[in-house]
Amino acid sequence: MKTEAAATTLTIPWIVLLLGLSSYNSGGVLAVNMSIPNTLLRGTVGGEAVLSVCYNSFSLDLPVIKWQLKREKSITVVQSIGTDIIGTLRPEYRDRILVFENGTLLLHNLRLSDNGTYDVEISITDDTFTGEGSITLTVDESISRPFIHMETTSVLELSENVVLNCSHDNGTKTAYRWFKGGKQLSNMTRFVFSPDQKFLTIMRVLMADDDIYICMVENPVGNMTSLPIKLTVYRRSSLYIILSTGGIFLLITLVTICACWTPNKKQRHHHPAGNPVYRYNDYSDCLRITHTDDLLPKRTERNGINAVTSLYVLQQKEPSLDDSSSNNSIGSPESDNPPCYTSSPKLNGSLTPARSSIRLT
């Protein structure tokens, strides 16, 4: 008796479930059951993207399929009954759209503007509820081969701020990685990356930095590695290292010495008062000169007649210190007047010059 009661208890739920399914198929509550295998797709510019969906329904009618691209205001990409497109496609989607019977959408020749979230709706006339879903598509540009740009590939030891630039022509949403000798670099004391890690700066080059460098560029659709570049570091002389480390102190010391040093002035010679002193351009010699000029006329004969020429020979004599007392003072009227000459008429026509003391001022 107990066994028959247990069997009856297990059979009743299955009977109820079968009755519910029969009422569902006979025109009760109907719905489109839709599934999406992949809700995130990545595509490349110029490539293709398959937005795959599938549905099932008890109705034999063709489904009405509608795809929209989410924007501030949603854009209708395509609407179809089965595979037959309804209406006219937007210009940016012409010749790039294909709809399959199960509702899958194929986009040809992808563009960056195709990036976004796509909503799909599938409805059948006999079904009460519409199947809905969404797929996110990201479109990126493939990366071209990068190359490392440097001002020079040969530097001297202890050089400052050597910059390596990882450049490439194409690629979106890029990220950069640097390798030295096959090992990935990270931010260190002497190795500094720019915020986007596109630039690598070696703050102070050492001999250990003589190595091969590579940069890798990657984005959601792939990655590319640059050709290796060799950085050659030459050793500086020991003298340069000493001067470079103490150069600032040495420079300050030399500037201070030059600023404080002045040349010694030569002492002037002192002479007794009353003696005239004449200074020439040579500041090392100070001369006391008192001139007693003898003007000796020269005779010339012209047409048999003796004549006195206007050319006189100036004879300078260096008087002794004892004779200087006999000279007049500098300010005497006699020194201010020009020398005068006296002549007496004689038969031989000779001239007797008057002696005068002349001081050069």
% of the chain surpassing 70 pLDDT: 60
Which architecture, in CATH terms, is 147-236? Answer: Sandwich (2.60)
Amino acid at 319: P
Domain ranges across the chain: 33-140, 147-236
Q: Find the length of the chain.
A: 361
- Residue 261 pLDDT greater than 80, yes or no: no
The residue type at 190: R
Dist CA 107 CA 49 (whole Å): 5
Q: Is the pLDDT of residue 51 over 60?
A: yes
Cβ neighbors of 179 (< 8 A, separation 6 or more) are 185, 213, 214, 215, 216
The model's confidence at residue 240, banded by pLDDT at 50, 70 and 90, is: low
pLDDT at 189: 84
pLDDT in tens, 133-164: 999 999 999 999 999 999 999 999 999 999 99
Yes or no: say if 124 and 34 are a contact pair by the CB < 8 Å rule.
Answer: no
Query: Are 354 and 341 in contact, with CB atoms under 8 Å apart?
Result: yes
pLDDT digits (tens, 9 = 90+) for 287-303: 444 444 444 454 545 55
Residue 74 pLDDT more than 70? yes
* Token couple for 170: 């194409």
Taking 70 as the threshold, does the pLDDT of residue 272 lie above it? Answer: no
Contacts of 180 (CB under 8 A, 6+ apart): 209, 211, 212, 213
pLDDT at 314 over 90: no
**Confidence at 322, pLDDT banded by 50, 70, 90:** very low
- Per-residue pLDDT, averaged over 216-222, amounts to 95
Q: 172-217, pLDDT tens digit by residue?
A: 999 999 999 999 998 888 999 999 999 999 999 999 999 999 999 9
| Helix, strand, coil percent content, the chain, rounded in steps of 5 | 20, 35, 45
Residue pair 133/53 in contact by the 8 Å Cβ criterion: yes
Q: What is the DSSP letter of 125?
A: T
Check pLDDT > 80 for residue 242.
no
Residue 257's pLDDT is 81
User: What is the average pLDDT score of the chain?
Assistant: 75
Flag whether pLDDT at 114 surpasses 70.
yes
pLDDT at 163: 96
Range from 7-16, 25-34, 224-233 carrying the lowest mean pLDDT: 7-16
Torsion sign (Cα): 272, 273, 274, 275: positive
Three-state secondary-structure class, residue 246: helix
Above 90 in pLDDT, residue 251?
no
339: confidence class by pLDDT, cuts 50, 70, 90: low
pLDDT tier at 60 (50, 70, 90 boundaries)? confident
33-140 CATH: 2.60.40.10
Read off the pLDDT of residues 83-94 as tens digits, 9 standing for 90 and up: 999 999 999 999
Q: Tell me if 33-140 shares its fold with 147-236.
A: yes
From the CB of residue 246, how many other CB atoms can be counted at a distance below 10 Å? 11
Average pLDDT of the residues in 65-82: 94
Q: What is the pLDDT of residue 264?
A: 61
For the entire predicted model, the pTM comes to 0.55
Residue 155, pLDDT score: 94
